[in-house]
Amino acid sequence: MAKDGPNWDGLLKWSIANSDGTRPTHNLSEEDKRWFMEAMQSQTVDVIKRMKEITMVMQTPEQVLEAQGVTAADIEDMLDELQEHVESIDMANDLHSIGGLVPLLGYLKNSHANIRAKAAEVVSTIVQNNPRSQQLVMEANGLEPLLSNFASDPDVTVRTKALGAISCGYNCSLIRYNKPGIAAFRLANGYAALRDAVGADSARFQRKALNLIQYLLHENHSDCNVVNELGLPRVMLHLASSEDAEVREAALRGLLELARDKTGGSNGGLGEEDEKLKQILEERIKGISLMSPEDLGAAREERQLVDCLWSTCYKEPSSLREKGLLSLPGEDDPPPDVASKHFEPPLRGWAANHTGDSKPSVKKQEAPLLLGPIPPN
């Protein structure tokens, strides 16, 4: 990019002068062509070229960069720029082709926590909705440092960002809908790391871990045994009363997967935690009953989860139904059709206004007055 910013005024004046419609079109002179091309190219970034330059920096040893005055903040800014480039799926795949993926994964082991966190964030962008890049990261052994950072990094931000790259959302991470990734996660003792994550002080970290637990249990109910052995249901029950609404909902979703497990007895995979669950659900029903109308609207998913959990475990509807709090008036109504009132075709509007007039008019219509010369006999 040009350092002084785009010369938009110059380009605008030139465009107006050459296309204002007051004079006939003419061929541009070579000087005008050269000026226009230079002005446009000064505002254009060759993304591949820039990604190659970033790759060269990432391949340079840390000591050499420090000797050249490159700081950790400079590296973070560079990774910010790289993240913008790889938001394009094509550019994300090209990063591997130009040799940039492996050194990026190497930054996951950088001595600076901010760089480790930022590198994981870039990896999240690369694998998002991109099966090709997911495969490339797996082949480059990128899951191993991410799992290591998630499980044991001393910085909670690094752990959160690593978990985001491992499982940043449906169909966009390294293990969702990726059987080899799930197998590697299990072998790396990933469930134990999830247990530590849900016990952390960071609500964001807890939410990501709980969402991944729910996904894994939904995909394979045999994992309910592992979750029970690690004592995760007890932690999830505690988080079902969290002050953070999203943490509560994520915990309830995981508990619902456990309750639906048919191998855990009459109460599903919750086992001995049944009485504790009933107490917590009663407390949540009481809390929901005291909510303001605005809070009730925002807690729609929580209301449904509480009722579904109660019905699954105790084979009867929760008291939310009796209180009329499961489905609020108008909540399931379709949104109002505002656009059709303004864009209704005239003929359709005329027909709608005349559909009720089924009886023919008894008033005799007068013959229309024809104007013009009398036709010859």
Question: Does residue 110 sit within a domain?
Answer: yes
Are the C-beta atoms of residues 194 and 209 closer than 8 Å to each other? yes
pLDDT above 90 coverage of the chain, percent: 59
Mean pLDDT of 315-332: 85
Does 190 score more than 60 pLDDT? yes
pLDDT at position 17: 62
Residue 184 scores a pLDDT above 90: no
- In the structure, what pLDDT confidence band is assigned to residue 175 with cuts at 50, 70 and 90? confident
What's the first-to-final CA gap in the chain, in angstroms? 85
In a domain, 311, yes or no: no
Owning domain of residue 71: 44-188
What is the band of 39 on the pLDDT scale with cuts at 50, 70, 90?
Answer: low
pLDDT at 3: 44
pLDDT recorded at residue 33:
67
What's the whole-number mean pLDDT along residues 110-116?
Answer: 96
296 in a structural domain: no
Residue 154 belongs to some domain of the structure:
yes
Residue 275, domain member (yes or no): no
Query: How does DSSP assign 281-293, residue by residue?
Result: HHHHHHHHHT--H
Residue 2 has pLDDT above 50, yes or no: no
What pLDDT is stored for residue 273 in this prediction?
75
114 within domain boundaries: yes
Best-predicted range by mean pLDDT (266-275, 285-294, 319-328): 285-294
pLDDT higher than threshold 50 for residue 171: no
What confidence tens digit (pLDDT) does each residue in 125-150 have? 999 888 899 889 999 999 999 999 99
CA 242 – CA 247 distance, rounded (Å): 6
- Residue 252, pLDDT above cutoff 80: yes
What is the pLDDT, as a whole number, of residue 176? 72
**Is 119 within a domain?**
yes
Structure tokens at 278: 């009933």
Residues 6+ apart with CB under 8 A from 6: 42, 43
Question: Does residue 161 sit within a domain?
Answer: yes
Q: Ranked by mean pLDDT, which of 37-51, 218-232, 340-354 comes out on top?
A: 218-232
Token couple for 375: 């036709």
* 3-state DSSP assignment of residue 303: helix
Residue 56 belongs to domain with CATH number: 1.25.10.10
Give the pLDDT confidence score for residue 15 in this predicted structure: 58
Is residue 262 within 8 A of residue 222, CB to CB? The reply is no
Residue 29: the pLDDT is: 74
Q: Which residues contact 310 (CB under 8 A, 6 or more apart)?
A: 281, 316, 317, 318
Per-residue pLDDT at 27 exceeds 80: no
Cβ-based neighbours of 138, under 8 Å, separated by 6 or more: 174, 178, 180, 181, 184
Half-sphere exposure in the Cβ direction for 314 (13 Å, CA): 16
What is the rounded average pLDDT of the residues 331-348? 58
Number of domains within the chain: 1
Q: For residue 1, is pLDDT > 60?
A: no
